[in-house]
Amino acid sequence: MSTEIPKISDAEWEVMKVLWTGAPCTAGEIVEALEGSRDWNPKTVRTLIKRLTEKGAIGYNQTGRVYSYFPLVREEECVQSETQSFLKRIYGGTLRPMLVNFLQNEKLSREDIEELKRILDERKD
């Protein structure tokens, strides 16, 4: 997709996750889905929905007075955009220092190491 991926805040990601999982959803359904994980009142969730609509991250269909929201961007596109933004901010846009830092400081299981080796071997070919 050649369109610009909107910058999504941490709180907005929570709304997007609900929509990526089960769109279309009404505002009430989004509020209900977030009730267990977030201590937000319905007005907060509606504000996040409004922001995401203004950013072009979500769209809606209106039937009478009911609005059903759906994502306009794929989760994979947003993850990729966030990854690139993170790499630029923290590691000057270079992947290698991040990988070195991660590998030196994280506890990896044998399975994790084998998976990383497999991925690297595939990239070599």
- Could you read off the pLDDT of 33-64 as tens digits, one per residue? 998 777 888 999 999 999 999 999 999 999 99
Report pLDDT digits (tens) over 81-100: 888 888 888 888 888 888 88
- The answer to whether 27 and 67 are in contact (CB under 8 A) is yes
> Around 82, how many Cα atoms within 13 Å sit in the side-chain half-sphere?
12
More confident site: 107 or 18: 18
Q: Are residues 36 and 63 in the same domain?
A: yes
**Is 19 among the domain residues?**
yes
Q: Are residues 56 and 105 in the same domain?
A: no
Q: Are residues 18 and 58 in the same domain?
A: yes
Domain end call among 71, 96, 115: 71
- Sheet of 66-71: strands edge to edge? 25-26, 66-71, 58-63
> What is the tally of structural domains in the chain?
2
Residues of the domain holding 32: 10-71
- The answer to whether 60 and 68 are in contact (CB under 8 A) is yes
Single pTM value for the model: 0.75
**Is 3 among the domain residues?**
no
**Is 5 among the domain residues?**
no
